[in-house]
Amino acid sequence: MIAPPAEILDDVVRWRRMIHRRPEFGFEERETSALVERELRAAGIDVKRVAGTGIVATLTGGAPGKTLALRADMDGLPIQERPGLDFASEFPGAMHACGHDGHTAMLLGAAVSLARERSSLRGTVRFLFQPAEEGPGGAQPMIEAGALASPDVDAVAMLHVWPTLPVGSIGLRSGAMTASCDDFDIRIDGRGGHAGYPHNAVDTIPVAAQVVGALQTIASREIDPLKAVVIAIGRIDGGYRRNVVADRTTLQGTIRCLDENVRRSVPERIERIVAGICAAHRASHEVELVHGYPSVHNDAGLTAKVMGIARGVPQIASVVELEVPTMGAEDFAYFAQAVPGCMIRLGCASPDDPQPASLHSPEFNLDERALATGVALLRALAFQLT
């Protein structure tokens, strides 16, 4: 019952390659969601469009039971793929570099194959094909559109391909899996002038330099070292030329946290440090914070069940209990805040590749044998968590 039928695995590989060829950005996944919708309808699965390109599909089993949601994201990234694959991206500057092509194909394969075995399924399986995981985020609009309702979803799970785990393995842990991700912009205003007469100006460049250094003391001096936080400045803009005082400098940064209390405390710390440094140097300032995705927290009970189920799936060679989360972010967090959730890493590193490229790299590729492992696990979850 658990083994995916061979013909569906051929379809999954074919779908994955079709989607890989035509990567689409967030909320523009028109071809991808059209493919998903067509195949789901052909399999007799109830389909509803939400949040533009999002798809909520519902498969009701032959006996009463719980409702499990399984989620895949569909969007690609603005990365130029390195040549190599014969099914490489046909769109310049766009690539499935995060494996969402594989996620979509696996979930579609699980849905279509389960539809053929509907009578032996309990409860309800809800398939969530989500737009815009890479930003600005499709999970929240899908929830607002009722993706977790009628019937109410009892639990939600997802797979993410993972290039540091070998194909055939999966990795998971209970508690934090990913970090929260918030962005901030700092604007420092001074007074322009001639570099030769600094006393007549307020130069924002040395102020910005002090701000960059001082912000690092939040992680090193203010937050409990056992609670991870990353505060990174990724971009600085300021100045005109070497002999002109920069009257304005802007900084753009990102904040990653695993703990919600730490996360809530960071904006005040940034504001205080920036305000203090700017005031000390006669500059004025503005800090703007943009809230991003929360941290994914895997539900302990659900994660234990998923581990048990995974250990019984013959296609899974090893179930790795992860010691630590990562400081990456995932908007699956919203689904997992609404109902008990479990994010599962699916090993996709080929044993022949000594240095598999990381996610978001122009060289990223997945070992397609991972697709069979993923479909088998999704099907097992559908049979055993409903």
What residues act catalytically? Answer: 75, 133
Indicate the residue among 47 and 327 with the shorter CB distance to Zn ion.
327
Torsion sign, CA atoms 374, 376, 377, 383: positive
Indicate the residue among 217 and 358 with the shorter CB distance to Zn ion.
358
Q: Which helix (H) or strand (E) holds 276?
A: helix 260-280
Rounded CA-CA distance 158/374 in Å is 10
Rounded CA-CA distance 128/283 in Å is 49
Enter the tokens of residue 294: 């929360």
Rounded CA-CA distance 134/77 in Å is 7
User: Do residues 297 and 369 touch, judged by C-beta distance below 8 A?
Assistant: no
Indicate the residue among 98 and 258 with the shorter CB distance to Zn ion.
98
∠ CA(69), CA(114), CA(159), 5° rounding? 45
What is the nearest approach in angstroms of Zn ion to the Cβ of residue 56?
Answer: 20
User: Do residues 71 and 339 touch, judged by C-beta distance below 8 A?
Assistant: no
What is the nearest approach in angstroms of Zn ion to the Cβ of residue 329?
Answer: 9
Enter the tokens of residue 345: 């890493």
Rounded CA-CA distance 118/342 in Å is 24
Q: What are residue 361's phi and psi, to 5 degrees? A: -95, 145
What is the nearest approach in angstroms of Zn ion to the Cβ of residue 110?
Answer: 18
List interacting residues with Zn ion (CB under 5 A): 98
Q: What are residue 211's phi and psi, to 5 degrees? A: -60, -45
Indicate the residue among 143 and 366 with the shorter CB distance to Zn ion.
366
Torsion sign, CA atoms 273, 277, 280, 286: negative
- Closest residue to Zn ion, based on beta-carbon distance: 98
Q: What are residue 100's phi and psi, to 5 degrees? A: -70, -20
Indicate the residue among 181 and 211 with the shorter CB distance to Zn ion.
181
What is the nearest approach in angstroms of Zn ion to the Cβ of residue 140?
Answer: 16
What is the nearest approach in angstroms of Zn ion to the Cβ of residue 75?
Answer: 9
Rg (CA), the chain: 24
What is the nearest approach in angstroms of Zn ion to the Cβ of residue 55?
Answer: 18
Indicate the residue among 74 and 287 with the shorter CB distance to Zn ion.
74
DSSP symbol at 199 = G
